[in-house]
Chains A and B, each alone.
Chain A
Amino acid sequence: MKTSRTIEILVGLFVAAGLAAFFMLAMKVSNITEFTETDVYTLSARFDNIGGLKVRSPVRMGGVRVGRVVAIEYDSKQLEAVVSMHIMRKHNGIPEDSNASIYTAGLLGEQYVSINPGGASEFLADDDAIEETQSAFVLERMVGQFLIKETEQGAAK
């Protein structure tokens, strides 16, 4: 049997290693570090159809992530989906006439909001809304439109 001091040291090392592993999982593996993005401002955008967009989906400008979707609600008066986004404060130079679209990353990837900058000299501020939006690409609708076009052409012949 080892002396009690050695055992205590080994137990201490074991507990420390366990906590270190937990800490590594928290900081290095999970997204907890992203919760610390407190320096943000809120923008909103209205879409007819958000497709597969989810809360925490990224918001990108030119492919670079500048923020995150924080809330998705349905406005039952205007019959539109309202997407609220947190944009990092350092990206506060988004022109007022920018437009927002919902795109898909890759063929089967997740969906994200893309902000395409306009040319206005005024910038969007906290709680502003992006007026011009383009809805998500829904495959079924595209196929439907394609079929209708085909049948119309067939009928014309």
Chain B
Amino acid sequence: MFNQFQILGRRSMSVFQRLGQAMLFQLQILAGLPGLLRHPRLLIQELYSVGVQSLAIIVISGLTVGMVLGLQMYNTLVDFGTEESLGPVVALSLVRELGPVLTALLFSGRAGSALTAEIGLMKATDQLSVMEMMAVDPVKRVVVPRFVAGVISMPLLAAIFSAVGILGSYMVGVGLLGVDDGAFWSQMQHKVSFDKDIWNGIIKSFVFGIIATWIAVFEGYTAIPTTAGVSNATTRTVVHTAFAVLAMDFVLTAIMFGES
């Protein structure tokens, strides 16, 4: 009878324990930030593998999402004779929601899983223990540059995603479907506000960058150092990032656009 309660209690305690561990790990990362200034080269290397190599999937996804949005919105808007609203509709949905959220999901699939697998394998092959033996702090040497690179890359990738998406909808809307060129941009500029929409989108993608990279490096660093352990940790990274980003998106949207 009490066994079920015991299982429930053990599960919840391990969840909270893990949250606490993640918090302490974040403090360790923050403490290691100043050390990164002395080794900017580590950051460049990670920016390449986290940011530059994610560029292709971000650009292609942004373009197709923008084109599909343009096509679908046009079909609905043309019924009301307001197809000029295509610009603001596409721009607002990309800049406010789709840009940051989809970029974070793609980013965790492309870069987050790679980070977890890399750090987890480093642990499994005892590279991290060797560093400790050489009096090199593995958090400072391995984790901090990857975390900072992720946090810097996410807003840039989200901005690229939104910009490319808007260009994609411009190509479909103005190029193929014959929406007026001037109305497309002028309505967009009229409806999209810089500090309310674009700036909040950037803040969102920055927060998602912290969440996605934090989960990725934490899962990698605490992975069970076996083949199955690393594979489980990689799966957890992608799943937990998706949950956390979508939940956080609701919270941030409620705060930012809740009262108008």
Contact = CB atoms under 8 A, between A and B. Distances in A.
Contacts of A11: 44, 47-48, 51-52
Given A14-B52, A31-B194, 11 more contacts: A8-B44, A10-B52, A17-B55, A18-B160, A21-B162, A21-B164, A22-B156, A25-B162, A29-B95, A33-B189, A35-B194
Given A7-B45, A31-B189, A19 B156 contact: yes
Interface in B198-212: 198, 202
Given A10-B52, A11-B44, A11-B47, A29 B160 contact: no
Nearest to A106: B82
Nearest to A56: B193
B160 A7 contact: no
Contact of A25 (B45, B48, B95): B95
Q: Is the interface on chain A under 10, 10 to 19, 20 to 34, or 35 or more residues?
A: 20 to 34
B199 to A, nearest CB: 9
A7 B202 contact: no
A25 B41 CA distance: 30
A24 B185 CA distance: 12
A75 interface: no
A28 interface: yes
A44 B82 CA distance: 32
B197 interface: yes
Q: Is the interface of B mostly helix, strand, loop or mixed?
A: helix
Contact of A24 (B41, B155, B163): B163
Given A25-B162, A25-B198, A34 B48 contact: no
A30 B197 contact: yes
Contacts of B48: 7, 10-11, 14
Contacts of B51: 11, 14-15
Interface of B: 41, 44-45, 47-48, 51-52, 55, 82, 91, 95, 153, 155-157, 159-160, 162-164, 166, 185, 188-190, 192-194, 197-198, 202
Closest 9 CB pairs of A and B: A18-B156, A21-B163, A32-B194, A30-B194, A21-B159, A22-B159, A21-B160, A14-B52, A7-B48
A7 B51 CA distance: 11
A31 B155 contact: no
Contacts of A35: 194
Interface of A: 4, 7-8, 10-11, 13-15, 17-22, 24-26, 28-35, 106
A20 to B, nearest CB: 8
Contacts of A32: 194
A19 B152 CA distance: 11
Contact of B192 (A21, A22, A30): A30
Contacts of B166: 25, 29
A24 B99 CA distance: 14
Nearest to B201: A25
Contact of A26 (B82, B190, B198): B198
A111 to B, nearest CB: 14
A29 B159 contact: no
Contacts of A15: 47, 51, 156
Nearest to B81: A106
A15 to B, nearest CB: 6
Contact of B185 (A8, A20, A28): A28
B189 A18 contact: no
Contact of A29 (B52, B55, B189, B202): B189
B47 A29 contact: no
Contacts of B155: 18, 22
B156 A30 contact: no
9 contacts: A11-B51, A14-B47, A15-B51, A19-B159, A20-B163, A25-B163, A30-B189, A31-B190, A33-B189
